[in-house]
């Protein structure tokens, strides 16, 4: 069931989303060569703590997961697409990092992700990230009353495919509200004019995932969480929590 949020609820979700935005900004500022993924998780944890927010990631255990998730961010490096567990790995020159973070504040959840490079970026990585950001922007632009879920999916997928990148099968965005994952699903590829009509008060996490090698397949690492590209190519993942309103899309996790 798709829950429409009141304007008061949207403001509360915006407050949760702002905590996520601050956490991601802090992580990005802290990320440099030699810093470990566990240290980045600690940076995000501090921002959540100071805001009085909790983490919807910490302890999360969906059906596929062998263990509860042990951190407040997912940290996915290079060929890791999503769901990387922060560990002692220290960032190296040229690494491509995707950080996904959630926060729950006053019972409402925000969810957002960024991709960036540390040290000297490879031109191919810069292009991959820039394309992911364009795909996200296109998806947000399509998140308007009068459109359908398929219009968002089509907008995201078209940008990815036009650049020759792969789209991991079966992963995408989702409704969000009091829970991190609510209906409806928001695929990263689809047909325009299809699916659920968008209405004022729907809140969606839109999250393109792109693989540089162009393959849609992936495999789970031995930790049971991290999804990696089958060909070892790099991946990018960006995400915003977006409210559909009569005044247009409202990005609840915008960073300042
Ligand atoms: Mg996320
Ligand atoms: Mg999400």
Q: Is the pTM of this model over 0.95?
A: yes
pLDDT digits (tens, 9 = 90+) for 78-129: 999 999 999 999 999 999 999 999 999 999 999 999 999 999 999 999 999 9
Q: Please give the Cα distance from 226 to 88 (Å, whole number).
A: 15
Q: Please give the Cα distance from 93 to 79 (Å, whole number).
A: 15
Q: Domains in the chain and their CATH numbers?
A: 7-251 (3.90.230.10)
pLDDT digits (tens, 9 = 90+) for 15-34: 999 999 999 999 999 999 99
Q: Which two tokens stand for residue 7?
A: 């304007």
Phi and psi at 141, nearest 5°, equal -60, -30
Q: What is the Å distance from ligand 2's center to 170 Cα? A: 13
Q: Which two tokens stand for residue 158?
A: 């078209």
Q: What is the Å distance from ligand 2's center to 116 Cα? A: 18
- What is the pLDDT averaged over residues 169-182? 96
Average pLDDT over the chain, rounded to whole? 97
Q: What is the Å distance from ligand 1's center to 205 Cα? A: 8
Residue 64 pLDDT class (50, 70, 90 cuts): confident
Name the percent of the chain lying above pLDDT 70: 100
Q: Which two tokens stand for residue 155?
A: 């907008």
Give the helix/strand (H/E) hosting 116: strand 108-117
* pLDDT(160) > 90: yes
- What is the pLDDT averaged over residues 164-181? 97
Cβ proximity of 116 and 129 under 8 Å: yes
Q: What is the Å distance from ligand 1's center to 239 Cα? A: 6
- What is the pLDDT averaged over residues 138-143? 98
Residue 40 pLDDT class (50, 70, 90 cuts): very high
Contacts 24+ apart (CB under 8 A), 123-126: 124/212, 124/234, 125/94, 125/96, 125/212, 125/234, 125/236
Q: What is the Å distance from ligand 1's center to 109 Cα? A: 11
Q: What is the Å distance from ligand 2's center to 65 Cα? A: 16
Q: What is the Å distance from ligand 2's center to 125 Cα? A: 22
Residues in the chain: 256
């Amino acid at each position: 069931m798709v829950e429409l949020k009141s304007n008061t609820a949207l403001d509360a979700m915006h407050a949760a989303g702002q905590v996520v935005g601050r956490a991601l900004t802090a992580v990005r500022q802290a990320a440099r060569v030699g810093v470990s993924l566990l240290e980045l998780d600690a940076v995000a944890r501090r921002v959540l703590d100071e805001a009085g927010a909790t983490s919807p990631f910490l302890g999360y255990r969906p059906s596929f997961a062998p263990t509860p998730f042990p951190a407040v961010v997912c940290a996915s490096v290079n060929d890791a697409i999503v769901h990387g567990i922060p560990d002692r790995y220290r960032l190296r020159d040229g690494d491509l990092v995707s950080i996904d973070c959630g926060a729950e504040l006053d019972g409402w959840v925000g969810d957002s992700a960024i991709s960036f490079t540390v040290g000297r970026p490879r031109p191919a990585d810069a292009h991959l990230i820039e394309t992911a950001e364009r795909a996200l922007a296109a998806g947000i632009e399509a998140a308007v009353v009068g459109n359908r879920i398929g219009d968002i999916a089509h907008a995201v997928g078209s940008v990815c495919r036009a650049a020759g990148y792969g789209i991991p099968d079966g992963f995408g965005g989702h409704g969000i509200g009091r829970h991190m994952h609510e209906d409806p699903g928001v695929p990263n590829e689809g047909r325009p004019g299809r699916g659920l009509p968008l209405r004022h008060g729907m809140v969606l996490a839109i999250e393109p995932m792109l693989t540089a090698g162009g393959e849609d397949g992936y495999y789970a690492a031995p930790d049971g969480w991290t999804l990696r590209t089958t060909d070892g190519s790099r991946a990018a993942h960006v995400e915003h929590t977006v409210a559909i309103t009569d005044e247009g899309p409202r990005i609840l996790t915008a960073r300042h």
